[in-house]
Amino acid sequence: MSLKIINKEDLLPFVSNMLREYEVLGPVANDTGFKFAALTDAAQVRLDYNTTILPPRKALLPTQETLFTFRTDMPSVTPAFDMRWRVLFGVHTCDLHAMRMLDEVFARGNPDAHYMKRRATTAIVSVECLEACDEHSFCKSMNTLTATSGFDLHLIGLGDFYAVDVGTTAGDALLENHCKSHEATRPELVLLDKTMSAKWAKFPSRLSLEGKDLPALMGISYKSPVWEEIGVRCFGCGACNIVCPTCYCFDVRDEVSLDGKTGERSRIWDSCQLDEFARVGTGENFRKTHAQRLRHRFMRKGKYIAEAYPGQQGCVGCGRCARACLVDITPVGVWNALHKAHAM
Amino acid sequence: MSPIPAIESIYIPTLAWISKVETMTAMEKMFTIELPRGQSLGHKPGQFVEVSLFGIGEAPISISSSPSRSNGKFELCVRKVGDVTTALHNLDEGARIGVRGPFGSGFPVEQFEGRDILFAPGGLGLAPARSVINQVLDQRAKYGRVILLYGAKTPGELLFKDELQTWGKRNDVEFHVTVDRGDKEWIGNVGVITTLFPKITVNPRNTIAITVGPPVMYRFVIMELLGKGIPEDQIWVSLERRMKCGVGKCGHCQIDHFYCCQHGPAFNYAQIKGVMEAI
């Protein structure tokens, strides 16, 4: 839409001003690194964070979410929607691409009101990474190291100021009402172009193929010995799913109050790596082995999502699953091994 | 931020009630369900509903009755195997339950008109198959030959015994039944369902085969059907998966790129032949 400039010293007041009206979730430091959390003070925001253990998708798809409440004594059902206005601040572009995918998954086919209403009341202020976060990320290979949509506002750090890409009218109003800004001047635009050009060289391409070629690679990899090789190592702990910004599979559970008269049905995060995931009532398990479950996960990440939702990606190269895996099963390792085996 | 979409939740069940409960076998009961204000479920044969017991959970159950016999009611033949189905078995007539659906693709019966239909359900597979069988029998003139092969483990596990007798007496249905293990009173065929195939001849080009049963049965029955020359895209199955949400979101029922709850549970063999983990 337009390009504005804000001074760096105006950033904290910007967050403070938003905090007066909205819940603001942003990256804050914790004992082991960083996490997205509801801010109580603007000064907690750490835009210099490298990554978080859990992705910010938890703001759009909470770990546990009430779908409806019910009464058991005189049956009645009341839907539950979370429509608090909130700002998700400081999202990296890999996670932004993941949330664009989630937006489409939950809006297409049978629209999911719980997700869509929460999404509609959430503004996203993203931030451009100017350096790779660590040795596990491969956003350059997945073409997610920048973004042109999916945000309301997008910040690009340029020394003493930020360039702000205004993505939506809501973003425009958010900036207008909460922060001093001015239209970008010619020298500021030149610096922006220079910074954006310079950043590419700082990111390694860690995949031996381009992300857009993953569906084709996966299409010929169903019977690869790689699945058995990594299946032997996998503990089936599901950590890869839990930290993944594009995982959205869920289980549904009922909980009842102590008197048994009321209760709620919620959805909770689930993991396709767990033994129970594909088991049916009669006991049959349609993905019994770790190798089958890993193949399913990598097929979703590299093929199914991209094919079911053209223009979207099942993996955004954030590297979180690689960091979380106890036995070093990584997307870069798996995809490069498959690529090498098939000598594409 | 954008305007809040005025849409309703796809996870809210409709409050329905059980108007009739019949015990079928030691493990299966048949429930007749009525929706509020006499509304029709509006299902296609082969579709399923999500049945809710508030405080217990939700389970996908295939619809046993045919649309041709709906009368504002539908039937679910339920085996007692998990939390929801066990709790359902403890309910009496008049109990309230939640229902979402119908979901899934169902069998495209209109496309089967003019064809010979070969049904080969096994065990509890007769529950979903019955919705197609009765739909076809209620519009009998629209179809060619109707051949029905049914197998269960023991005579005691045969479902819909009254209907089996009716089907057996009709002269426009070629009916064969078998059990894996007989008992003192059983005088019929003994052996798995594939032992019935030598008893029938088919015109393969004009035959639609519909087989519903446990995964192990599919491999052998499909082999028999292909052996009779029936083309792959004329062989239909209904796949069982953990269809938790029924609306293509939760991921549990995914088979390769298919969501069983959306693209299935009825598939033809040509669709799933090369798909790993399908059969």
- Min Cα–Cα distance to chain B from A134, Å: 31
- Min Cα–Cα distance to chain A from B193, Å: 20
B208 and B183 in a common domain: yes
Whether B10 sits inside 8 A of A111 (CB atoms) is yes
Residues of B with CB below 8 A from A70's CB? 54-55
Whether A251 sits inside 8 A of B252 (CB atoms) is yes
Residue identified by tokens 């309301």 is A152
- What's the pLDDT at A223? 94
Confidence of residue A283 (pLDDT cuts 50, 70, 90): confident
**Rounded mean pLDDT, A4-25:** 97
B92 and B27 in a common domain: yes
- What's the pLDDT at A73? 81
Residue B55 domain flag: yes
**pLDDT score of A4 more than 70:** yes
Residues, chain B: 279
Query: For A270, which residue in chain B has the nearest alpha carbon?
Result: B250
B142 and B35 in a common domain: no
Q: What is the mean pLDDT of each run of 10 residues along chain B (279 residues)?
A: 91 96 97 94 97 96 95 94 96 96 96 98 97 97 98 96 96 97 94 96 97 94 97 97 96 95 96 91
Query: Could you say which of B103, B133, B165 is where a domain stops?
Result: B103
**pLDDT score of A168 more than 70:** yes
Query: For B79, which residue in chain A has the nearest alpha carbon?
Result: A282
Whether A252 sits inside 8 A of B240 (CB atoms) is no
Residues of B with CB below 8 A from A170's CB? 1-2
Q: What residues form DSSP beta bridges with A157?
A: A162
Query: For A274, which residue in chain B has the nearest alpha carbon?
Result: B252
Look up the CATH number of the domain holding residue B67. Answer: 2.40.30.10
Calpha distance A299→A294 (Å, rounded): 8
A83, A85, A284 member nearest B215 (Cβ): A284
Residues of B with CB below 8 A from A282's CB? 79, 81, 214, 240
- What's the pLDDT at B80? 96
Whether A254 sits inside 8 A of B55 (CB atoms) is yes
B167 and B94 in a common domain: no
- What's the pLDDT at B270? 97
Calpha distance B78→A301 (Å, rounded): 36
Residues of B with CB below 8 A from A79's CB? 8-9, 11-12
B113 and B234 in a common domain: yes
Q: Which of B11, B239, B273 to mutate to test the interface with A (most CBs of A within 10 A)?
A: B11
Query: Could you say which of B45, B69, B103 is where a domain stops?
Result: B103
Calpha distance A328→A237 (Å, rounded): 13
Query: For A110, which residue in chain B has the nearest alpha carbon?
Result: B247
B121 and B19 in a common domain: no
B134 and B53 in a common domain: no
**Rounded mean pLDDT, A87-116:** 97
**Rounded mean pLDDT, A95-117:** 97
- What's the pLDDT at B279? 87
pLDDT tens readout for residues A328-343: 999 999 999 999 998 6
Domain that holds residue B178: 109-238
Calpha distance B201→B106 (Å, rounded): 27
- What's the pLDDT at A75? 81
Whether B7 sits inside 8 A of A111 (CB atoms) is yes
Q: Angle at the Cα of B35 (from B32 to B37), degrees rounded to 5?
A: 135
Whether B8 sits inside 8 A of A170 (CB atoms) is no
B36 and B157 in a common domain: no
Query: Would the ipTM clear 0.90, i.e. be above it?
Result: yes
Residue B256 domain flag: no
B119 and B56 in a common domain: no
**pLDDT score of A344 more than 60:** no
Residues, chain A: 344
Whether A120 sits inside 8 A of B276 (CB atoms) is no
pLDDT tens readout for residues A285-336: 999 999 999 999 999 999 999 999 999 999 999 999 999 999 999 999 999 9
Calpha distance B88→B52 (Å, rounded): 9
Task: Calculate what percentage of chain B has a pLDDT beyond 70.
Answer: 100
Query: Could you say which of B68, B103, B138 is where a domain stops?
Result: B103
Whether A113 sits inside 8 A of B2 (CB atoms) is no
Residue B182 domain flag: yes
Residues of B with CB below 8 A from A272's CB? 251
Q: CB B57: neighbour CB atoms within 10 A?
A: 19
Instruction: Report cis status (omega within 30 of 0) of the bond before B155.
Output: no
pLDDT tens readout for residues A24-66: 999 999 998 999 999 999 999 999 999 999 999 999 999 999 9
B120 and B99 in a common domain: no
B153 and B38 in a common domain: no
B42 and B96 in a common domain: yes
Q: What is the 3-state secondary structure (H, E, C) of chain B?
A: CCCCCCCCCCCCCEEEEEEEEEECCCCEEEEEEECHHHCCCCCCCCCEEEEEECCCEEEEEECCCCHHHCCCEEEEEEECCCHHHHHHHCCCCCCEEEEEEEECCCCCHHHHCCCEEEECCEHHHHHHHHHHHHHHHHCHHHCCCEEEEEEECCHHHCCCHHHHHHHHHCCCCEEEEEECCCCCCCCCEECCHHHHHHHCCCCHHHEEEEECCCHHHHHHHHHHHHHCCCCHHHEEEECCCCCCCCCCCCCCCEECCEEHHHHCCEEEHHHHCCCCCCC
pLDDT tens readout for residues B252-262: 999 999 999 99
Query: For B251, which residue in chain A has the nearest alpha carbon?
Result: A249
In chain A, how long is the greatest CA-to-CA distance? 69
- What's the pLDDT at B235? 98
- What's the pLDDT at A49? 96
B12, B82, B257 member nearest A304 (Cβ): B257
- Min Cα–Cα distance to chain A from B81, Å: 6
